[in-house]
Amino acid sequence: DIVMTQSPSSLAVSAGETVTINCKSSQSLFWSGSQMNYLAWYQQKPGQSPKLLIYYASTRQSGVPDRFIGSGSGTDFTLTISGVQAEDLAVYYCQHHYDSLPYTFGAGTKLELK
Amino acid sequence: QVQLKESGPGLVQPSQTLSLTCTVSGFSLTSYNVHWVRQFTGKGLEWMGVIWTGGSTDYNSALKSRLSISRDTSKSQVFLKMNSLQTEDIATYYCVRDQYYYSGDFDYWGQGVMVTVSS
């Protein structure tokens, strides 16, 4: 199984700050056939189901604000939130969607207010 | 609009079988794959298995011996059955949809159903 390792596990921020969440996979998520990295990011607010933010490592889902930026390739990926807003306080998960079952998730990063 | 909704008992006795139904609307089960994902109390997420558009299934090897996923396309329903439930299976169970054909990223999630295992 591909192991997804997220860091940090929690992060305390002030509104307006820029934050970075890291995700590392135990094997490359890049497929040369498509030139894509098969890495997704989800946001989960309390009491809600996870919401897809980013797929193919850097493609924002429709309706997701452009302050959410996904980057990285191979085994190392980053979610950057530029100018955190109060509504962004949530738990963020990475997930590989490479053609290698089972799909696996990182343990999550909880974004809290400082 | 696209919706997925899980239903089933919230309480299962130890060693018994969990049966859940996912009723979908706004899309066809013959056009989109549907997966089951569960979330433990500590918030970790686990992919359980999938029923592909053609009706075949794949399961997480950790659950394969206990898990079965099936569907009724005429009713737009996907079913999960997992036997020999134990306290380690306490979780919220979600059905989710692949965004694109075999993309593996999940654009729509059900509201989830919380399952407790207790006598």
How confident is residue B43, by pLDDT bands cut at 50, 70 and 90?
confident
Contacts of B44 in chain A (CB under 8 A): 105, 107-108
User: Which of B35, B43, B109 has its CB closest to that of A49?
Assistant: B109
Q: Tell me: pLDDT of A114 over 90.
A: no
B interface test, pick of A45, A49, A112 with most B CB neighbours within 10 Å: A49
Strand ranges (E), chain B = 3-7, 11-12, 18-25, 34-40, 45-51, 57-59, 67-72, 77-82, 91-98, 106-109, 113-117
pLDDT, tens digit, 9 for 90 and up, residues B88-101: 999 999 999 999 88
What pLDDT score was predicted for residue B42?
A: 81
CA A78/CA A42 separation, integer angstroms: 12
As a whole number, mean pLDDT of residues B29-46 equals 95
Residue of A nearest to B105 (CA): A97
A17-72 residue pLDDT tens:
999 999 999 999 999 999 999 999 999 999 999 999 999 999 999 999 999 999 99
Tell me what pLDDT residue A4 has: 98
Where residue A113 falls among pLDDT bands split at 50, 70, 90? Answer: confident
With an 8 Å Cβ cutoff, are B99 and A108 in contact? Answer: no
Residues A82-94 have a mean pLDDT of 96
Give yes or no for a cis peptide into A8 (omega within 30° of 0): yes
Contacts of A42 in chain B (CB under 8 A): 106
